[in-house]
Amino acid sequence: MTGEKTAGPNINSVRGFNVIDTIKSQLESLCPGVVSCADIVAVAARDSVVALGGPSWNVLLGRRDSASASLNAANSNLPAPTLSLSGLISAFSNKGFTAKEMVALSGSHTIGQARCTTFRTRIYNETNINSTFATSLRGNCPSTGGDNNLSPLDTTSPTSFDNAYFKNLQSQKGLLHSDQQLFSGGSTDSQVNTYSSNLGTFTTDFANAMVKMGNLSPLTGTSGQIRKNCRKAN
C-alpha cells in the first residue's frame, strides 16, 4: 500500500506525525484498541487552534481508521495553491461546502507555513501583490532553488489564530495565489471584509465549518479498524 504522504500537496509539507505517534502510544498503554488515529488527528487539530488563541468546538468521536490509503485521491482532491476563485469554490462544493465555508476554512492560514515552490510564481510574476511584501519574500525564496524554504502564511501574526489573514488579503499580502483569489474583485470579497472586521464572526463560522469537515464520510461502527500504529494498517 502506498501512503498519501508523498502526494504532491503533502510531500515535504505535512509534518508533526511524531506528535500523533506520541499521543497514540500513550493512549494504547492506557486503553488499547479504543481510540483511533483519525479521532486523535481531529482532536489535535482542535486543541492546536485553541492553544494558539483560536476558538474551540465539540469534536464528535467514534471515527475508525482506514485499512488503506489513496495517493491518487490526495493528489486530486486537495485544493492546489494555484487554483482560481472558481476552482476553489468548485473544489469545496464537491465536498458539500459553500463558498462562505470555504472562505472561513481558508482562515486556517492564519497559522502554518508554506514552501517557496508553492508561492514563487506569485511573488515574482503576479501584479495583485503588495510590492514591499513581495520583495521581502524573495530573500528567502529565490527564483530558482530553495523550493523547501518556508514562509508564514500569515506574516503579521504567524503563531496566533486570529483574523489577520483576512486583513492581509485586503492589503494584497496573501502568500499563495489561492489566498489572494479570495480578495481580488470577486464574489468572496465581501466575506473577507466581514471576517477582517469581525473576529467573532470568523471564529464562529470557522468552528462550525470544522465540525462539518470532521463529519465528511467517516468510517464508524464496524467499518475500518483501530490502528495500533498510525503509520500503517494493522
pLDDT recorded at residue 1: 84
Which spans in 69-198 are helix H?
71-77, 85-93, 99-106, 116-125, 131-138, 164-170, 177-180, 189-197
Q: What digits encode the pLDDT tens for the residues 179-191?
A: 999 999 999 999 9
The span from the first CA to the last CA of the chain, in angstroms, equals 12
Known binding site for Ca(2+): residues? 4, 110, 154, 162
Known binding site for substrate: residues? 79
Known binding site: residues? 4, 79, 109-110, 154, 162
Q: Mean of the per-residue pLDDT values for the chain?
A: 97
Q: What digits encode the pLDDT tens for the residues 211-225?
A: 999 999 999 999 999
Known binding site for heme b: residues? 109
pTM (predicted TM-score): 0.96
For residues 7 and 109, give the distance between their C-alpha atoms in angstroms, rounded to a whole number.
20
